[in-house]
Amino acid sequence: MAPSLRQVAYDAIKDKIIACHFAPGDIISEGILIDEINVSRTPIREALRQLEQERFVRILPKKGVIVTDISLADINAIFEVRSLIEPHILREHLDNIDAAAIRGLRREFDSITLADKEVLYGLDDAFHQAIYRACSNPYLVSALEQVYAQNQRLRVLSGSVARRLESSNAEHNRIIDAILAGDAAGAADAMVEHLRNSKAASFDQLMSRRPA
């Protein structure tokens, strides 16, 4: 079944926001969206209302649509959700994780170079998806998918440094080793450490890129 026009508009606008083609503080013109996405005004407005609910934009009456920023409070909120749910999934749903997929990711993490940032980002996404998709609770999965979208935008906004990418890969491998060993508690503890370090790095990077 072909996606609805509202879904087409939603996906296109969200992708541009996540990639920061529409940067925080930008005012989005409905007219430009209509031309770029080639759909009518109604699905554009429906998509924008959904994106407002997900905290990607704010609709200001008689002013327009503005792309939201990611604040330090947002970073706290994003990692609070992740730190509550991802270790829980490892503790309670470890047996549902696709071990073959995890082994494949381990091989890719070991073979990739730190210069291939976009590939590393893709592997990072695939790794966390392999974990949360093992969860049989659709409400937890939905909550994670929403914060992951903001987390991807945060990654673009804050940038990255080779030191953190190297540490992150080592952290991923510790989680993977525990998963493959069937050590649910060890995997959860390693995930807690990984998310704590990722949060601290996000804080540091975002602050370093903002004017004093």
Residue-range domain boundaries for the chain: 5-67, 72-208
Assigned CATH for 72-208: 1.20.120.530
pLDDT at 56: 95
Q: Same CATH topology for 5-67 and 72-208?
A: no
pLDDT at 66: 95
Residues 114/165, Cβ–Cβ less than 8 Å: yes
Q: Which residues of the chain have pLDDT under 50?
A: none
Q: CA 88, 94, 98, 99 torsion: positive or negative?
A: positive
- CA angle (94, 112, 203) in 5-degree steps: 70
pTM of the model: 0.85
Distance CA 15, CA 57 (A): 13
Looking at domain 5-67, its CATH architecture is: Orthogonal Bundle (1.10)
Residues 5/41, Cβ–Cβ less than 8 Å: no
pLDDT at 211: 57
